[in-house]
Structure 1
Amino acid sequence: MPGGGFVKLPNGSVVVALTLPRPVVDCGGGPVRVLVHAANRARALTRLRNLGMRAVYLRGNTQPPTPDEVTAVLHHPDGLLWRAVPDDVEELWHPIRALLRGA
């Protein structure tokens, strides 16, 4: 289920969405959907790598962020969110520090 994509915004910045395996430090199961807002794709991936997600790559644009995902990440002060996959409409987006807690 790994995949991801991006969308370029009118101001030139991008929103990158990636489906990743859950970090080992987290006891939950299944993959997560991570959203990153940055100036460009390289900086978005660098933000994730700086958080300890070293093997994060964006190959292709098979699962670009939906309009709802773009809205969610643009309205978050950190510009970095995650949610469990498959999407559960009842589950809210979480700040990235909640996923990496205990790392």
Structure 2
Amino acid sequence: MWYPVPVSCVFQGYHLLQFNDNNGQFGENPSYNFGDTDLYRNIVLNQEPNFFNRSKNQLTIHDNSAAIDKADPDASLSVPIDILGMDRTQNSDLGAYEFTDNN
């Protein structure tokens, strides 16, 4: 069975994820046990991602972003390029965009 799992993501706001589990599909899956703090180690919490211009949906990051070099290296190998085609196999950033000096 396939389950949605976020990889190298930046979330802002008060809720990380929220599921409407009408069919009971996720209730028994230990990956979605938000009370198990062992599942959520090495997270970036309450730090500014410093998006270029979030109000215009320009979500590249600035050089002082908390997302830089914070992605899981093993998970990043499954997504070796970012949304713009930039390499993200080493020192990957969280989110859809890898930081470059051109951001």
Q: Under a length normalisation based on structure 1, what TM-score does the superposition of the two structures give?
A: 0.29
- Greater percentage in helix: 1
State the structure with bigger RCO (CA 8 A, min sep 6), 1 or 2: 1
Q: Which has the higher strand share?
A: 1
What TM-score comes out, normalization by structure 2 length? 0.29
Q: Rg: which structure is higher? A: 2
